[in-house]
Amino acid sequence: MRTLPILIAVLLSTLSPDVLAEDASRPSGTATVPLQDLIPLYAQREAPAAPPPMEALVKSDLTGRLTAEALLVEGHFEVEVLADGRWTQVRLLQLDADTYPTRLPTLEGATVGVVDGYLCLVTRKAGRYELEVGLAVRSSAAGAERRAQLRFGAHAAPVPLTLEADTSVFTLMEPLPSSAGEGFTVYPAQGALRVGWRAAAPVARGEKVQVRPPLEPRITEASATWVSTLEGRATLRVAYTLSLDREQPLELMLPEGHALERVTLNAIPVPAEAEGGVVNLKVAPARLGETGGALEVVLTRELGVFHLSGRLKLALPRVSWPVAELRARAHFPSVFNYRREGGSLEQVDAADAPAMEAASLPGKVLHFRQYLVAASAPTLELGYSVDISQSYFR
C-alpha cells in the first residue's frame, strides 16, 4: 500500500513546473449546450482571412549612363508587399552573367539581395519598402560597337530607362528619342532594355575639328488629308517631313474651330496641348547624326450639316518653319459636286496630282497643291451643290 504514494511522487517529479501550472490553469471536463445556444456561438467564430490577390506591387524608375565598356544603372523601387505572416520573394531585375550589383540597400524588416539569378526583396512582413540599387551591365563587343541589355523580373513591370549619353564621346546605335539636354529615352522591348553604342573616333593631336555649320530647319514637304462625313464632322491629318540636325522648337497655329487630337514625332506619340490655338513642340531627328524627321498632327472640326448647296471654308495650320511643297487631298460626300472658289491652294487634276499614300477612303477625291509656304496658313474655299448627274430628271 505504501508503494502507490511513492509512484505518484515520482511521476510528479518528472513533470516541469510550467507544464503543471499550464494544466492547473486549463479548464477540463465536458459540457452539454442546447442546440439553439450552440448555433450563435458557431456563427461568431472567426473566418480565415482571404489571401491577397497578389504578393506585391512594384513601382520603379531607372536611370543610366554609359562608360566605354558598361552601362551603369541606378534604380529606385517602391515595393508594396501585401502578404503578411509568410515569406514573400519579390523579383525586381534579372541578373544575367554580365550584370552585377554595385550598391544594395539595408532595410528594416526586409532584405535585398541576389537569389537564383534575380535581384530580390525578401520579407515576411507586409508594408511599403523604398530602395535604391546600383547595377553595372558589362557590354558585349562586336567590333567597335558595344551592346548591353537589362531584363526585368517577374514582379516588376517594364519601364523606360532615362539614359545620359555625351554625344561627343559616344554614338548611340539605336534610334532613341531625346528627352532633354543629353538625355535619351530607352523603351523596353520583350521585357528587356537594350542599348547599343560605340565610342567616337579620337581626334589626332594637332588636327582641326571640322564643325559642321548648323542646318537651317525647314519642312521639305507636307501632305494634308481632309475626310468629312455627310453630318459635317471632319478630320484633318497633316504630315510634315522635317529637315534638321538637332533638337529645334516648332510652333503650330491651329485653324479656327479645330481641336487637337494627337501629335506623333518620328512615329512616337508625344504629349501636346493647344494654348490659345498655338501648339509649341520640340522636334528632333529620327536618329542621331541624321538630318530627317517626321511630324504628324491630327485635328477635328465640325463643318455643320451639308445642305443642298453651300460653301466650305478650309484651312491648314500655320507653321513657323518654311514649307517647300504642300500637297492636299479632300474626301467629301459623293452626293455633291465641288468647285474651287478661292484660297491659296490650287486644284490639280488627279492625273497630275503627286503620288500620295493610297488610302481606301470614301467620297469624292479632290487634289490641291501649293509651293513655298512661309509664315502663312494655306486656305481653301469650296462651293458645293447636289450632284444630279445620275438622276433621270434633269
CATH 3.40.225.10 is right for the domain spanning 218-386: no
Q: Are strands 170-172 and 379-386 parallel, antiparallel or unpaired?
A: unpaired
pLDDT at residue number 57: 92
pLDDT, position 358: 45
Residue 394: its pLDDT value, please? 46
Chain centroid to Cα 248, Å, comes to 22
The CATH architecture assigned to 56-199 reads Sandwich (2.60)
Burial class of residue 242 in the structure, from the number of CB atoms within 10 Å of its CB (0-12 exposed, 13-18 middle, 19+ buried):
buried
> What gap in Å lies between CA 91 and CA 152, rounded to an integer?
8
Q: pTM of whole model > 0.85?
A: no
Examine domains 56-199 and 218-386 and report if their fold is the same: yes
Looking at residue 350, its amino acid is A
What pLDDT, on the 0 to 100 scale, is given for residue 29? 73
CB atoms within 10 A of CB 96: 15
pLDDT of residue 236: 94
The residues spanned by each domain of the chain are 56-199, 218-386
pLDDT tens, position by position, for the chain (394 residues)? Answer: 444 444 434 444 444 455 444 555 566 778 787 877 777 777 776 656 677 778 899 999 999 988 888 899 999 999 999 988 889 999 999 998 889 999 999 999 999 999 999 999 999 999 999 999 999 999 887 777 888 999 999 889 899 998 887 777 777 876 566 655 557 888 888 888 988 888 765 555 655 655 556 778 999 999 999 998 888 889 999 999 999 888 889 999 999 999 999 999 988 888 888 888 999 999 988 876 678 899 999 999 988 888 888 899 999 999 999 999 999 999 988 888 999 999 999 999 876 655 555 456 778 899 999 999 988 899 999 999 987 766 554 4
- Helix, strand or coil, per DSSP, at residue 164: strand
The residue among 298, 296, 297, 310 whose CA lies nearest residue 232 is: 310
Tell me what pLDDT residue 197 has. Answer: 84
Give pLDDT, residue 26: 62
CA distances (Å), origin 172, targets 28, 36, 114, 195 = 80, 79, 30, 8
CA distances (Å), origin 153, targets 43, 157, 282, 311, 380:
44, 8, 34, 60, 56
In angstroms, the Cα distances linking 38 to 14, 26, 30, 44, 45 are 40, 22, 14, 10, 11
